[in-house]
Chain A
């Protein structure tokens, strides 16, 4: 046994019987229920679970970052010292130095008011006592380490001047500033586009090889676990239900929950509609241009073309998947086709030209074209009952219905999306994310539409819930011969939903075709990159 292997087997962090409780108005809520986890030097440990499993709170507790109404009991031993009982000043010598952390939200995790350089230098000076000039040099070195181009200039940049991926690189640089033993990464790539995700993961793997720290990965994404982790803890409702070597867990999962998680990837595919199916929606050379700035004495406005000459043809019972990364214009295209945004070009719905239709003219058509949004928390009015939310459209489109008839329709719609009809007397906040998305779908379905634009309807949901929503949408389509425009960045969901795919980049279509053709033989470099980033399962790193 070599020295490296001996070092690698040393346990540096050991969580014993950790419990995390939150005091709430409804009494104490136990988020973590007595778990045991350990981390060895230099290894990669994944803590996997869905939302509410307590995976993040475990690590927040270890770092004393719990919300003010939270308390942790048990012990978190780092090299023989219990972090939970350290004084604040002792703890601050460990946090950011020996154990550091990066978070899910690269857009908001950096202080927007200070330059990157300022924020990098602060922890370096604090933990290493360097003077300003030395710390500046160190900060530059760190930016080079995480491959930020032009680091001298970037030191003076502010977070809002950088992309999400670059900000996450800066976060990583800050976390590594003091040569930590352990880097805790809490969903570090979840908020990023797939191609950027892959770059950040590769960077973490590279840095681990170079610097040798242990990484604790908190994630819901089994793809990342598979490519990255040596050992895995599977958490559910505050408990560790299964633990073991990563390979073993994937090949031979023991616990029913682990098996369910592994099977949660949406599967199946959709057959295209018959070639002679009527065309429901057609756009020809659709263009959307946004004007930025301009005005009195402010100079020429900047014109931003968000959708650039796009033509699309959606048949009855067809699902077109619109794929692209953030900023590609996919949502804008969806909105323009529904005439929710002014656009140039021709748009036909059924046999009507709606290119120039105003709000008045669109109103009678609206019931046939519905929209379901990504965020099931923000898109339902918190002050209306579920019944009111889903029947509101009927007031406009079928004003002759009596209250009783509307109620019957609500019952019918809720049954159709698999919810208990009694839900209509309750309020949206009483439901989980997946249930709320069902409510949003019921709100669209109650009007018996022909076209539904689904804008990232599954992106905010856990994998297992995603699968259920995908199945629901497919069933509704089959029952009602619906046409879907399915906007998503998630290729596995698109593959299960769509029979035709449009790949967008910077407002343009870079590739389109039947789903299987796109997946089996992507032509455009950008599509290939997307596919590789999303579907590749090569391991970044094999166990030491």
Chain B
């Protein structure tokens, strides 16, 4: 197993290299540059700025420099927020996004699994139809609709929650964004869980457990649920990578200083280093969570062996 993890981490290096290379050159194919939009910037000052950041060097040389810095853990300065390095920006924003994303993910996994299980146990009955209806609503209503509705109802009408802001991480400030992030995920998990639980409940070993006179609790939770959880585990990998690296919509609507906004803002402003930083962070999250998922697979299912 250890050997497997090591091998996966080693193969992550070429993967990351390919991602970084592609992102670097694709970014440069897009027209414009980081200092094109600034108004009243005289050509001399612009040339100066570009020279200072090495943007006049041949592209391959810039790439080599970037890689060299990256290997030393230096993501470079942000072009559009020159007071900060990319590393500093992530050090500030990432913990916030991770907190929100992780809370939303845990909520989605717990609530979604429970709802999905309830639906499966009441297949084609009222409980099932209710969960399906909720799940359909949850996965079709976009977050940019859910978020303002939460702000309107809980913030303005009932004054239970602040309308926005991070509030130095106060619990009450997190409720709105976490709910907004979690709702569509709850819907997805509930649907996945329902399907996989129905299948699990039909399997032969569940019939055996019933024939042995085991309690409903043992049949459902110990035997059926553990078998049904595998699709949820696979879902969790990409979902975690996506949720923990922030959401531009939720962070914008709730005015949260997370990293979700960086990607879009930086891409629009041609803030090359920040785009690259975001790409690297998302890639690492994706690789790490997919590895965790594969390891979890072996933990849940003894038939899965890596060597």
Contact = CB atoms under 8 A, between A and B. Distances in A.
Interface of A: 63-65, 68, 88, 91-97, 100-101, 103, 105, 108-115, 122-123, 126-127, 158, 160, 171, 174-175, 293, 296-299
Contact of B216 (A88, A100, A296, A297): A88
Max chain B C-beta neighbours (<10 A), residue from A63, A112, A293:
A112
Contact of A113 (B213, B215, B227): B227
Interface stretch (B162-170, B263-271, B297-305): B297-305
Contacts, number: 90
B214 A123 contact: yes
Given A296-B7, A297-B7, A297-B10, A92 B204 contact: no
Nearest to A115: B302
A298 B307 contact: yes
16 contacts: A63-B210, A68-B123, A92-B213, A100-B211, A103-B211, A108-B204, A109-B204, A110-B205, A110-B208, A111-B208, A115-B302, A126-B214, A126-B218, A160-B302, A296-B11, A298-B7
Main secondary structure of the interface of B (DSSP, over half): helix
4 closest Cβ contacts across the A-B interface? A96-B213, A96-B212, A95-B213, A92-B213
A93 B3 CA distance: 48
Nearest to B307: A298
Contacts of A115: 302
B232 interface: no
Interface string B213-255: 1111010001100110000000000000000000000000000
A123 B205 CA distance: 14
A94 B212 CA distance: 9
Given A296-B7, A297-B3, A297-B7, A111 B227 contact: yes
B12 interface: no
B302 A122 contact: no
Given A158-B302, A296-B11, A111 B213 contact: no
Contacts of A127: 213
Contacts of A296: 7, 11
B215 A92 contact: yes
B303 A160 contact: yes
B207 interface: yes
Nearest to B202: A67
A112 B301 contact: yes
Interface string B1-29: 00100110011000000000000000000
Contacts of A160: 302-303
B203 interface: yes
B301 to A, nearest CB: 6
Interface residues of B, number: 29
A126 B215 contact: yes
B282 interface: no
A65 B211 contact: yes
B283 interface: no
Contacts of A114: 222-223
Contacts of B102: none
Contact of A100 (B204, B209, B212, B215): B212
A67 to B, nearest CB: 8
B214 A96 contact: yes
B229 to A, nearest CB: 10
A65 B307 contact: no
Contacts of B222: 114, 122
Nearest to A112: B303
Contacts of A65: 207, 210-211
A441 B303 CA distance: 37
B305 to A, nearest CB: 10
A126 to B, nearest CB: 6
B208 A112 contact: no
A126 B11 CA distance: 48
A299 B306 CA distance: 12
Given A103-B207, A105-B204, A296-B11, A111 B223 contact: yes
Contacts of A93: 213
Contacts of A175: 212
A68 B201 CA distance: 11
Given A109-B204, A113-B227, A297-B7, A122 B218 contact: yes
Contacts of B207: 65, 103, 109
Interface string B265-307: 0000000000000000000000000000000000011110001
Nearest to A107: B204
Given A65-B207, A123-B213, A160-B302, 14 more contacts: A68-B123, A91-B213, A93-B213, A95-B213, A108-B205, A109-B207, A110-B208, A111-B209, A111-B227, A112-B205, A115-B302, A122-B222, A298-B7, A298-B307
Given A158-B302, A297-B7, A297-B10, A113 B226 contact: yes
Nearest to A293: B307
Interface in B179-217: 203-205, 207-216
Given A108-B205, A296-B11, A113 B302 contact: yes
B204 A103 contact: yes
A113 B211 contact: no
A115 B301 CA distance: 11
A112 B223 CA distance: 9
A378 B11 CA distance: 38
B142 to A, nearest CB: 35
A126 B219 CA distance: 12
Contacts of A68: 123
A95 B210 CA distance: 8
Nearest to B301: A113
A296 B10 CA distance: 10
Contacts of A122: 212, 214, 218, 222
A110 B203 CA distance: 10
Contact of A126 (B213, B300, B301): B213
A57 to B, nearest CB: 13
B1 to A, nearest CB: 13
A171 B227 contact: no
A94 B211 CA distance: 9
Contacts of B213: 91-97, 123, 126-127
A195 B146 CA distance: 64
A158 B301 CA distance: 10
A324 B282 CA distance: 54
Contacts of B214: 92, 96, 122-123, 126
A424 B297 CA distance: 46
A91 B212 CA distance: 11
Given A93-B213, A94-B213, A123-B212, A111 B205 contact: yes
B118 to A, nearest CB: 15
A127 B213 CA distance: 8
Contacts of B227: 111-113
A298 B306 CA distance: 9
Contacts of A63: 210-211
Given A65-B210, A96-B213, A174-B212, A109 B3 contact: no
A506 B202 CA distance: 35
Nearest to A67: B202
A428 to B, nearest CB: 23
A139 B52 CA distance: 76
Contacts of A110: 205, 208
A299 B7 CA distance: 12
A103 B208 contact: yes
Given A113-B302, A296-B7, A96 B211 contact: yes
Contact of B300 (A94, A113, A123): A113
Max chain A C-beta neighbours (<10 A), residue from B203, B226, B301, B302:
B302
Contacts of A293: 307
Contacts of B209: 111
